[in-house]
Amino acid sequence: MRHRRYSVTASEGLFLIMVHMQDVMSKPMPDFREGSIVKGRILEIRPREVLVDIGYKSEGVIPSSEFEDIQSLEVGDEVDVLLERLENDEGMVVLSKEKAAYRQNWNKIASVFQGDGLIKGKVKSVVKGGLMVNIGVEAFLPASQIDIIPPKDLQQFVGNTYDFKIVKINDDRRNVVLSRRELIEQERSEKRQKFLEGVHIGDKVQGTVKNLTDFGAFIDLDGMDGLLHITDMTWGRLGHPSELVKVGQPLEVVVLDINKEKERVSLGLKQTQKNPWDQIEERFPAGQRVKGKITNLVPYGAFVELEEGVEGLIHVSELSWTKRIMRPSDILTVGQEVEAVVLGVNKEEQKISLGLRQLEPNPWDEIEHKFTIGSRVKGKIRNMTAYGAFVELDEGIDGMIHVSDLSWTRKINHPSEVFKKGDEVEAEVIDIDKTNQRISLGIKQLAEDPWKNIDQKYKIGDLVKGKVTKLASFGAFVQLQDDIDGLVHISQLSEDHVAKVKDVLKVGQEVESRVIKVDKVERRIGLSIKAANYSEEQLRKESEAFDTLKPGEDMVGLEKAFAAAEQEDYRPGESKKESKEPKESKRESKKESKNK
């Protein structure tokens, strides 16, 4: 360093020394304590370091990297620096501008945190769980605090400057936690209050689709979220809101309802359009033929779009007069163009009933000309139920043979005892019900009722032969001519006491017996094996005994025997196995044994 030489007198020199000492004594001495922040003056700017004088006996060196804009520095500029050490191994002061700035910034941040907590910052980078932000010091912004809805792409925020709120400071660890979401929520809350104070039901408002759900869409009304329910999106059918709107789409909607306490607003989109159901009855009167497209198929019918926003339903029962259609998808497909007839309109419920079968004449209207009562018909057994068999007489037209119309003499519980599916049968038409579309058929009507003249064929006292078809606790059934069964009560098996019927008779055994009772009305015949060898007088007394028995007397009378047969669900002619005894007959048998 070059120095200028001055020539002064002794007195002048003494004066200058005194002035300098006075000047030095008038200025406060710097606090050269390690860890303190002091002011320094730039003496020299080098490529990698900056020489700074803090007024101490030696200068300090600061790396150039600690200065944000090294190009703007000039010799003589003042800077705040942190005095880390008064002297290093080389005898120089150790200084740091960066640490001084950090200390000053931290104090500023602590002061802001004690106040309103609001501060600006620039997003530096994406880290695990959020973002790092420079607010003078590094601060952490959790992903959950970036926005009201946590964003998926955090990289979009890097390099941008935002307003933040300091929510947490840790002095020991020098950690700062920020939130941007709180400021956004506060701003939105103010906007919500302003919106709720100025909006009314029926107002049209502008918004943007914010989010979609299965039940509708949430619309951002500049800080206020409104719900646009799926039923208020369109007058037509809509499977999902995404079929009509998308996130970010601007919409004009109508305010349908406002709840200021809960800060909820219900919106409508279809209300901005004309209601297609207005004057619907005039446009689609009952009986009119219409055309439309199948929009949906369900188990109970098919929905047909007649025009935009208007759908009708063809119920599965209205698809065909005669065909047995179990599912609409058997004959229809989505997107198919169809013609139908309007059956009815309900404007309040926005429903239109349609019919497909009404396009053709109903074959049941002329059914009496095709099938007359008393005529004989043929057909195949299509289906069987517990109460009868269905016979296909024509395409889609069935007749039903009830189990009671299968036989005059046998009690048949299920048609499968007589038929199997696909059998060709002949029957007689015994009734036609056009209203309910039913044809009743009978098999037994093809032959004469054997019970009609039963009293001429069988008289009391007649000696008859037959085969045992069934054994029960109270007696045995014997098959006579014309497939008619007679009942032999246990008391009529033998003169001796019989404990069990099977001890005396076996199924299939040929027996001889006498007729002791004929009931033409109830279709019953009573037999007696022990009376087979009775004289006329003995037979007369036995018959009188049966007629005079009181109901309270145990199972020794035919009336109760017949009743027991009904309880056991007896099927005349059944001979493969003996049915189970009913509880009543078991009790009666026990009583009878005790009495005897």
CATH code of 385's domain: 2.40.50.140
* 417, two tokens: 């005892």
Are 354 and 367 part of one and the same domain? no
Residue 7 falls inside a structural domain:
no
Tell me how far apart the alpha carbons of residues 389 and 422 are, in angstroms, rounded to a whole number.
Answer: 11
Helix axes 558-567, 583-595, angle to 10 degrees: 150
The answer as to whether 280 is a domain residue is no
Report the distance separating Cα 494 and Cα 492, nearest Å: 6
Is 593 in a helix, a strand, or coil? helix
In a domain, 13, yes or no: no
DSSP annotation string for 530-576: GGGG--HHHHHHHHHHHHH--TTS-S-SHHHHHHHHHHTT--TT--S
Q: What is the mean pLDDT of residues 458-464?
A: 86
Instruction: Place 76 in a pLDDT band, splitting at 50, 70 and 90.
Output: confident
What percent of the chain has pLDDT above 70? 82
Angle at 169 between CA 164 and CA 175, to 5 degrees: 95
Q: Are strands 510-519 and 78-85 parallel, antiparallel or unpaired?
A: unpaired
Q: Which among 501, 508, 552, 565 has a CA at the least distance from the CA of 529?
A: 501
* Range 368-379 average pLDDT: 86
Per-residue pLDDT, 565 = 59
Q: Supply the Cα-derived Rg of the chain in whole angstroms.
A: 54
Q: Is 514 helix (H, G, I), strand (E, B) or coil?
A: strand
Residue that finishes a domain, picked among 384, 415, 446: 446
Tell me whether residue 131 is exposed, middle or buried, using C-beta atoms within 10 angstroms of its C-beta: 0 to 12, 13 to 18, 19 or more. Answer: buried
227 CB neighbour count, 10 Å cutoff: 17
pLDDT of residue 562: 61
Same domain membership, residue 572 and residue 464: yes
Answer yes or no: do 124 and 219 share one domain. Answer: no
Q: How confident is the model at residue 186 (pLDDT cuts 50, 70, 90)?
A: confident
Mean pLDDT of 276-296: 89
pLDDT of residue 304 exceeding 90, the answer is yes
Q: Quick one: 255 and 218 in the same domain? A: yes
- What is the model's pLDDT at position 591? 39
Q: Are residues 434 and 459 in the same domain?
A: no
Residues 68 and 42 in one domain: yes
Amino acid at 287: G
Q: Is the pLDDT of residue 17 over 60?
A: no
* Token digits of residue 291: 């055309």
- Please name which of 240, 243, 230 lies closest in space to residue 270, comparing C-alpha atoms: 230
- Look at residue 109 and tell me if it is in a domain: no
216: domain range? 199-272
Share the mean pLDDT of the chain. Answer: 79
State yes or no: pLDDT of 462 exceeds 60: yes
State whether residue 26 is helix, strand or coil: helix
Residues 180, 209 share a domain: no
Say if 390 falls within a structural domain.
yes
- Start-to-end CA span in the chain (Å): 152
Q: How many CB atoms lie within 10 A of CB 377?
A: 18
The structural domain count of the chain equals 6
pLDDT over threshold 90, residue 63? no
So what's the pLDDT on residue 553? 35
The answer to the question of residue 5 being in a domain is no
Whole-model pTM above 0.85? Answer: no
What's the sign of the alpha-carbon dihedral 400, 406, 408, 411? Answer: negative
Please report the pLDDT score of residue 264 as a whole number: 86
321 and 223: one domain? no
> Residue 518 domain-assigned?
yes
Tokens of 389: 């068999």
Region of 542 on the Ramachandran plot (φ > 0 left; ψ -120 to 50 alpha; else beta) = alpha
Task: Assess whether 481 and 429 both reside in one domain.
Answer: no
> Is residue 587 included in any domain, yes or no?
yes
Q: Assess whether 581 and 483 both reside in one domain.
A: yes
Last residue of a domain, one of 446, 467, 501: 446
Do 262 and 290 belong together in one domain?
A: no
Question: Three-state SS for 338?
Answer: strand
Residues 436 and 466 in one domain: no
Element (H, E) at 197: helix 181-198
d(CA 570, CA 565): 6
Query: What are the tens digits of pLDDT across the range 399-411?
Result: 899 988 888 877 7
- What number is the average pLDDT over the span 482-506? 88
The residue among 336, 358, 380 that closes a domain is 358
Confidence at residue 228, expressed as pLDDT on a 0 to 100 scale: 92
Q: Answer yes or no: is pLDDT of 305 > 80.
A: yes
Report residue 339 as tokens.
Answer: 């013609």
| Residue 422, pLDDT above cutoff 80 | yes
